Structure 1
Amino acid sequence: MSVANKTIIDTNFEFPKQKSLYKGKVREVYNINDEQLVMVATDRLSAFDVVMPRGIPYKGQILNQIATSMMKATEDLVPNWLTATPDPNVAVGHLCAPFKVEMVIRGYLSGHAAREYKAGKRELCGVKMPNGMKENDKFPDPIITPATKAEMGDHDEDISREAILKRGIVSEKDYSVLEEYTRKLFQRGSEIAAMRDLILVDTKYEFGKTKSGKIVLIDEIHTPDSSRYFYKDGYQKRQNANEAQKQLSKEFVRQWLIENGFQGKAGQTPPEMSDAYIESVSERYIELYEKIMGQAFVKGDVADIQNRIEMNVLKYLKS
């Protein structure tokens, strides 16, 4: 069997004291006795807020291992939900009530912000963007452009700080903490990226509240799915020459989809992904991992991923 077919797309485990199962775009979250969350990173691929029909080998492992490593590298700055990683695709942590916003922070005019800028807009989520910028230029200071958290199949939507507070999505006191944590994490993420000869261009963070009311970082952090990276070497030269930046993110998937007539709009169907294309995306994700982490990727055993994950989680929960 081709490695393209050895993926984990869906799980339906029944763990001891399991209360519920929530399925996000990529992760599946098991509530254990209203105390712990078991988060399984699947190999599902989401682009334009649409989940693609086929998974990407090792993608879940890659995202989980980057995210958990980055949480450990930032826990001195911002508390997080993580307590254990019993399997390459699994993170376990404290039960949290997630905030209904994603904290998007941008250091550069790229991606969605660049598309809006090109369309003539000079304000994003209530934040003004300077005139005279070109795509991939650095902002004078990073800007926070939040988005509402969408359910699977829906699109995240830009929202301003004012609208978040007015609609009571987050209290002003809590939102101030989210902003502070977002800036601290982005600063540390930028420093880590610089050590790998990368630029952290933009990223998103998600936060939740523990039962005791503590605000903590949850979900993924500084992964190629949640972040955009540029290669630092040659960045300014490429900007001066009006050339596209070399980047590490899943933007290459979005570009391939756009070239094949898909942008997640109503009535559009994702294009067919061949085994060869799936394997090429997997190889690209491995390359992203090795560049972001500065170490070789060790592939997990994919002979029977479902059973491997179930056995490892059960073993952890029993201990």
Structure 2
Amino acid sequence: MAQSLNPSKTLDLNQLRLSNSPSGSPLPVKSISKLLKKKKIPSIMVYASSKMSSTQHQTPLSLSLQALTDGDRKTEVMNTIKNSVSNCLSETHLDLTVPGLKSKTRGKVRDIYDGGDYLVLVTTDRQSAFDRILASIPFKGQVLNETSLWWFSETQHITPNAVVSSPDKNVTIAKKCSVFPVEFVVRGYVTGSTDTSLWTVYKNGVRNYCGNALPDGLVKNQKLPENILTPTTKAADHDVPVTPQEIVQRGLMTQDDYFEASTKALSLFQYGQQVALEHGLILVDTKYEFGKGSDGTVLLIDEVHTPDSSRYWIADSYEERFEKSLEPDNIDKEFLRLWFKDHCNPYEDEVLPDAPEELVSELAWRYIFLYETITKSKFEMPMTKEHIHDRISRNVSQALSSL
């Protein structure tokens, strides 16, 4: 029997396993509910040592908002960032340097190469917003790739994924699959600054968005009554909001595939929100992509809960700033979006101004800060002067020869 197009948004919390629970065992529902109902939100924590095994213990450094804007760790990282601005990975040409790679598909951020039985996904330092490239951010590609790998590993109890291996800090080798032409955008708050953001369409009077009925009286950055799914089609130059019914009617996905993928998306988001909250963060919204493997399995692909695909706010200051109608303290690319909106029309201007170097460096730091906060791992910045493209070519060549 065909499934309903609208999966339940109330998920079985017994199925959500936390990374710090013994052997990945489920955390009792009572414990989860208690955590979510706490009035005092945990402080942000960053670990100064590399990731340890689940059987080891490490002492976290409790940090306040000041850790994002000041502190020894920021000084250390910013010095390296500023020395690396000229060594960003803006373009790749592995089809010319790695034997066996075939066609190249250039995405907004990732370059995807056909490796025969596998795909080679290279995450570059390109920064996109408003459906165009704005700048190149030092270490951004490495942050996104390693953040996604961490989340792919942590969410295998919710859904299988396409990851095969990661031979380089910027590279993931993945299984080939048939990609669904739909992005599964999940939102927990009414916010945003782009034309397709929930706040933009809401303030313009829309009260039914992608099949979700929205109540009157919401204000910017307010928490929604429940998480909602607002899918978009993966158009070449921009994303187009679409309802679940339209997805099926237009043949983009079958009803069963849509139900499975949307259920997984809502489960992933609820789990991501919980993990973020434990580290003093709010996972505001994000997007997921899925594909179908050769055996018919629906697989999670692309990226998971990165600062590119997701919006993160600092939890401790959210309520106070919301009550004062101030923008939340964020650790994602929203402040870069706002800078461009203040200095040009990013949708219509043919030529955009260059992002100031201090803005580029600050965004690089925020991405690294988020990685360390979520994963409890120290971000390992390459100290070698070797060009990133040369390193990637060497590592990918070695990896493909052993597959």
Following superposition of structure 1 onto structure 2, how do residues 135-174 of structure 1 map, counting pairs within 5 Å? 135-151=220-236, 154-174=237-257
- Are the equivalent residues in 2 in contact too, given 1:101–1:206 (CA < 8 A)? yes
Counterpart AA for 2:243: S
Task: Provide closer, same or farther for how the CA distance between residues 2 and 248 of structure 1 changes in structure 2, counting only shifts above 3 A.
Answer: closer
Q: CA deviation at 1:170?
A: 0.9
| CA pair 302-133 structure 1, distance change in 2 beyond 3 A | farther
Aligned equivalent of 1:7, options 76, 80, 88: 88
Give the Cα separation in 2 of the matches to 1:268 and 1:288. 32
Residues 1:198 and 2:274 aligned together = no
The CA distance in 1 between the partners of 2:206 and 2:171, in whole Å, is 41
Equivalent runs, 1:193-272 vs 2, <5 Å: 193-265=276-348, 267-272=349-354
The 1:277–1:202 alpha-carbon spacing in structure 2 relative to 1, beyond 3 Å, is closer
- Identify the residue that residue 114 of structure 1 maps to in structure 2: 199
Letter in 2 for 1:98: V
> For the residues of structure 2 that align with 1:39 and 1:98, how far apart are their CA atoms?
14
- Equivalent residues of 2:180, 2:290 under 8 A apart: yes
User: What SS class does the counterpart of residue 248 from structure 1 fall into?
Assistant: coil
Aligned to 1:318: 401
Cα shift at 1:2: 4.7
The letter of the residue matching 1:273 is A
Equivalent residues of 1:262, 1:268 under 8 A apart: no
In the other structure, the counterpart of 1:91 is 172
**Which residue matches 1:290?**
372
Distance 2:401 2:118 in 1: 13
Structure 1 residue aligned with 2:51: none
Gaps of 5+ in 1: none
What are the equivalent positions in structure 2 for 1:56-135 lying under 5 Å apart? 56-111=137-192, 112-135=197-220
Q: Tell me how many residue pairs correspond in the alignment.
A: 314
2:217 aligned partner, one-letter code: G
Distance 1:237 1:79 in 2: 39
Provide the C-alpha distance between the structure 2 equivalents of 1:162 and 1:86, rounded to a whole number of angstroms. Answer: 40
TM-score by length of 2: 0.75
Give the whole-Å Cα distance in 1 for the aligned partners of 2:283 and 2:356: 31
Cα distance in 2, alignment partners of residues 262 and 281 from structure 1: 21
TM-superposed CA distance for 1:214, in Å, is 1.2
Q: How far did 1:302 drift?
A: 5.5
CA distance in 2, matches of 1:212, 1:247: 40
Tell me if structure 2 keeps the 8 A contact 1:6–1:303: no
Corresponding residue for residue 41 of structure 1: 123
Q: CA RMSD of the aligned region, Å?
A: 1.6
Q: What's the secondary structure of 2:381's corresponding residue?
A: coil
The alpha carbon displacement at 1:187 in A equals 1.2
| 1:55-106 deviations in Å (ceiling 9; x for gaps) | 1110000000101111100011111000111100001111112110100000
Equivalent residue of 2:103, what SS?
strand
2-structure distance, mates of 1:106, 1:278? 27
Q: Distance in 2 between matches of 1:277 and 1:110?
A: 22
The equivalent residue for 2:386 is 303
> How far off is 1:135 after superposition?
1.2
Deviation string 1:16-69 (CA, Å, 9 cap, x unpaired) is 433322111100111111x111100001110111012x4111000000010111
| CA distance, structure 2, for counterparts of residue 211 and residue 182 of structure 1 | 21
CA distance 1:124–1:302, change in 2 (3 Å): farther
Show CA shifts across 1:222-277 (max 9, x none). Answer: 00110011111132222223222112211011011111113323x44221234444
Per-residue CA deviation, residues 151-204 of structure 1 (Å, 9 max, x unaligned), is 2xx111111111111111111111001111101111111111011111111000
Contact 1:189 1:200 in 2 (8 A): yes
Query: Partners in 1 of 2:317 and 2:355 — Cα distance?
Result: 33
For the residue of structure 1 that corresponds to 2:173, the secondary structure is strand
Unaligned runs of 5+ in 2: 1-81
Alignment CA distance shift 1:283-1:85 (3 Å): same
Q: Which amino acid letter does the alignment assign opposite residue 317 of structure 1?
A: L
